[in-house]
Amino acid sequence: MPPKGAAQAKPVVGGRSVGKSLPMKQPKPAPQTSTKPAQARPAKRKDPPQQDAGARNPLGKGSRPNTRDAKRAKIHDNRSIAAQASHAALKDGELNVQSFIGSLSFEINALDESMRRTRTGQTSRAFQRVPFRMRRRAAAHNHKRIPKRLQRRAKREMAEDNTPTVNSKTRKPRTTRARLRAETARMLGVLARRKRLQKLKRSGADEETISVRAARPKIRRNAPNKPGVTARKYRKRQLSKTWLPTHLWHAKRARMTPSTQPLWRFAIPLTPTQKVYRPTHRILWEKGAMAWDMSYMSTISLSGAQNSVQNVLKSLGLVQEALWNDKARRWRSGAMHWTGTLSRKSKGALRVIGPATIMWNPEGNTTEVTDQSKRFRRLYIRIHPSAFLETFNELLRLAKMQNPRPFVEDLRFEIGSIDITGPDSTETLLGVLKPYFSKSELRECHASKFESLAGLKNPGALPVGSLLSFSIADPRLCYPPRQTTLPSATDHKVQRVLLEAISALRKEEAIKPHQLFDRDTRFKASKLPSQRSLNRRRGKGAPGKVLRPTIADPPIPLILFASRHSMSSQSPGTWTLMLPWNCVLPIWYSLMHYPLSTGGNPWFGGLDEVRQLEFERSLPWFPGDLPGTDAGKAWEIEERQVRYQAWNRRPKGKRINWESLDLGAGRKGEVGIGWGCDYETLFGLKKVGEPNEISTNGKNGNKESNETSENESQASLTRPLENIIQLPKSILIACQLSNSDLPHPLSLVTASIKMLGRGVLTTCSRIYRLPNTPPTIISPHAEVPSTEPPPPEVKGKLPHNLHSQWLAQKPSKSSCLKKVNTTRPSRLDLESRMQLLAQQLIGPPAPFPPPPPNSENINGHPLCPDEEDLIGFVTTGNFNLRNGRSEAIGNLSAIKALQELRRYKNQNDPTAKLCIVRNAGQNVSWLARWELI
């Protein structure tokens, strides 16, 4: 209460006294109609704000008050600060100190109260103050889904708002039927456990064997293996597919493949539920880290005599002399890995299988066998799952031809992997992967090398084929992960030490066999202690204390290698972590919760983010951008069906009519099928039946004929693609240098396409070459050669100067630096207008009848060439955030690409490798340039 001598308080808004403009009226009490007190009705959720009984409702009786006015009144009340006039303490020139201090004390308290009401009177709730990455759908009714700093406030808000909260773990069955079902399920579980123990006791096993022993999974030789046994309640969901080790974690945070349509027989996360397109670009090139669970990548083991293993590898396309001479001795000894393309011979042609990574296991004791060709060697082949079956069958075929015969093992469900990229990827791995050693003398050399890489920002800066193999402790022992101390990036001594550590990876040394190649070590590492036992051990110690590894904590063997996506050391690289399948989940949890020094935590990505980063690096993504391989053909056929179904679902008035597309010069209809990359049209292969014919003619025929024609059309789509092969860049360059050899007539070569101006390319865009220039006729009677006069325009023919029109579209340096204003100025004087009028009157008359539309150009754009100039299709096209323009990855006909390379002998010619690109379903084309990749 203010002091007695103080004046009456006046509210202040924004530092100004309101005075009498806002009188505070007390509402009159309503007349009582009954002597009994009215029972208070409990407040319901979503009820409108209650008003005083005497307050007038401007909208009339029975209508709700205006929420905007109520909100404004609430904000005004929160921000109004009561104040007292200071001149009341000054009387007759004397200052009443007690009254003056009381007035100031009242104002300070009023200011503090206003700040508190303004802070707590916001419309946002506790779960809305969480960053968008941490928001969950259950946060609105479960305070445990919110960070601990906001849980108390959320619990209070839910109690005040009567938010219905349900905890499924402690919820009891409400009906009799539900209680009976829960009790029956519990009794059945007890009975099954009792029968299982009785069966083991009858077999003569003791109690120690019953509780400790675990069956080691069998690995069949020269035959594919089955997935491991999963939990009983999830077994029926994995009949047609296999879950990744982190499936349950990803299923809550990412969009997964449909349950009935798995991808390569795996349930793979496609993309996170939150928007990550731009963050993914920033992570790759600026700061942060992003990780992927790549356990769906297939691992194949090849073991046997060294001579036999080498012959198998040479039959898979590893015929380069640099792989088998002294320069590649480090690779064959297991000190580095090799990444390249595997191929096989079929019907006299070389067919590309796909990219793969091969790493050897270092030799152990080699004193027993003196003949080097008969030494037992083992290696791992890591390949994409879409090409696993083709590679596995080819390995079996080649192994049968060797004597002694090597063994082939399927390790898809034995070894998992994690990929992580970004400038902070090395820091994340250093904070999570702690080397396992009991004594400092037993510390592995590769673990010391890995710890010396602190401060490395780009894994691509390491030597090509860098590989580290060591064992780590269970990351759950030191959970949550602590931030590692990084050296200063501006210290020259630190940078010198880092460069010395990088150069030390090139030195040769005696390497021990990799523990990941040992089956027993992998099996022991898979039997990690349960989380409950770790919590029990952690509860016995002090809070925050890191657990020490014991005998019950087996070491986890792993292989860590860095991959460089291009020959440039500036291109961001990627760390790949190979480890046992059952050890992926504990490491994944620590990776996702590691606190980065740049702020935040590492992000996770899906298949779409993998494709995005490959596109920003201007590299093809397997198998989508390699349609000449068997895996690429299967991908193209599936994508055609998806695009056709999406096109067919749209109403006829809102979908593209491919037959009526106007390409100019009287040409109607799209070139080939509009919803796919029609390589059959590119190579002139015969096709019988198309999906569009089925959809248009299906109304008149019966159902049986529709079904048979549809089956025939689906089969006809796969037959022509079988003859198409993928041609590597090196073979095409060799054909160009020889000037006589020609590649396979049905071969494709991958190219990178960059726009020279405007336009954004999309998938299935058509790629044309520049049309030929008109022939020049030299007269024998004239001293100066004369050109043939332009022929008259013929309906359905392209303009004779189409080549020069497209060359004029090529931007020059002067046009890029200075933009010329070609439009007429808005204001002209009288003399200029008279000159323009005279030019219109004196000039030649317009042709009559006028030419048809799109006969010479399309809205100022030159016409696209004819179908005979079609050289390829775009498999991936989008706007590249890295380069700030549209780019694409396409596949060209090897014959036509070779013709273009020989067409311009001087490769520095500014018109060399120019092409014209047109999106499917559009008639506007754009100028671009292609480069082989």
Containing H/E element for 710? Answer: helix 703-721
User: In this model, does residue 33 exceed pLDDT 50?
Assistant: no
How sure is the predictor about 544, in pLDDT bands with cuts at 50, 70 and 90? confident
Residue 709's CB is within 10 A of a number of other CB atoms, namely 17
**% of residues, the chain, pLDDT over 70:** 79
Residue type present at position 401: M
Comparing CA positions, the residue from 894, 930, 925 lying closest to residue 912 is 930
Per-residue model confidence as pLDDT tens digits over 484-537: 988 887 888 888 999 999 988 888 776 789 999 999 999 999 999 999 999 999
Distance (Å, rounded) from C-alpha 288 to C-alpha 592?
12
The confidence score (pLDDT) of residue 156 equals 86
User: In this model, does residue 584 exceed pLDDT 80?
Assistant: yes
* Residue of 45 and 256 predicted with greater confidence: 256
Comparing CA positions, the residue from 863, 876, 753, 740 lying closest to residue 801 is 863
User: In this model, does residue 174 exceed pLDDT 50?
Assistant: yes
CB 269 within 8 A of CB 250: yes
**% of residues, the chain, pLDDT over 90:** 48
Helix (H), strand (E), coil (C) string for 546-593: CCCCCCCCCCEEEEEEEECCCCCCCCCCEEEEEEEHHHHHHHHHHHHC
Comparing CA positions, the residue from 5, 609, 523 lying closest to residue 288 is 609
* Residue of 871 and 367 predicted with greater confidence: 871
Find the mean pLDDT for residues 317-339.
91
User: In this model, does residue 785 exceed pLDDT 60?
Assistant: no
**CA neighbours within 13 Å on the CB side: how many for 310?**
17
Q: From residue 250, how far is each of 265, 299, 861 by CA, in Å?
A: 17, 22, 47
List Cβ neighbours of 912 (8 Å cut-off, separation of 6 or more). Answer: 900, 903, 904, 906
Q: What does the radius of gyration of the chain's CA atoms come to, in whole angstroms? A: 38
Question: By mean pLDDT, which of 202-211, 223-232, 376-385, 750-759 is the weakest?
Answer: 202-211
Give the tokens for residue 326: 């002294």
How sure is the predictor about 698, in pLDDT bands with cuts at 50, 70 and 90? very low
User: In this model, does residue 399 exceed pLDDT 90?
Assistant: yes
Averaged confidence pLDDT in the chain: 82
Report the range out of 24-33, 209-218, 708-717 with the highest average pLDDT: 209-218
Instruction: Give the start-end residues of each E strand in 265-326.
Output: 266-267, 269-272, 290-293, 298-305
Per-residue model confidence as pLDDT tens digits over 628-656: 999 999 999 999 999 999 999 999 999 99
The confidence score (pLDDT) of residue 841 equals 85
Q: Which DSSP string do the residues of 34-94 spell out, in sequence order?
A: -SSPPPPPPPPTTPPPP--TT---TT-TTSPPPHHHHHHHHHHHHHEEEE--GGGGEETTE
Find the mean pLDDT for residues 392-410.
95
Per-residue model confidence as pLDDT tens digits over 255-270: 999 999 999 999 999 9
The confidence score (pLDDT) of residue 728 equals 93
Distance (Å, rounded) from C-alpha 242 to C-alpha 236?
11
What pTM value is reported for the model?
0.76
Comparing CA positions, the residue from 218, 188, 576 lying closest to residue 420 is 576
Lookup result for tokens 């340039």: 929
The confidence score (pLDDT) of residue 567 equals 58
438 CA to centre of own chain: 40
